Amino acid sequence: MVNKEVIVQLVNDRVKQILLVAEAALPPSQFQAFRTVVLNHFGRNGLVGDLEYLDGKVGLQARDGEGRNTPCTKGGGP
């Protein structure tokens, strides 16, 4: 199964590389703006937040379907 922490680490590694290239290519003021946008999209307010939400939601859905709380009366049972 895919682990949220592994995904975040893989994305962070790539974001670091993108920011290094952008820092070399852009003037400082433009780089700061670009860095802010990238970190907002891939950080806690963006992708990481989405993954945390999905991680919690999937965990809830997995638990919701376990077991049966009431006996089945379909088919003329007692």
pLDDT tens per residue across span 2-31: 788 899 999 999 999 999 999 999 999 999
Give the whole-angstrom CA distance, residue 47 versus residue 53: 10
Give the whole-angstrom CA distance, residue 36 versus residue 16: 13
The pLDDT assigned to 70 comes to 54
Contacts of 19 (CB under 8 A, 6+ apart): 35, 38
Q: What is the mean pLDDT of residues 51-73?
A: 64
Report the predicted TM-score, pTM, of the whole model to 2 decimal places.
Answer: 0.66
Q: What is the mean pLDDT of residues 38-64?
A: 80
Give the whole-angstrom CA distance, residue 65 versus residue 70: 13
DSSP 69: S
Residue 14 host element (H or E): helix 4-25
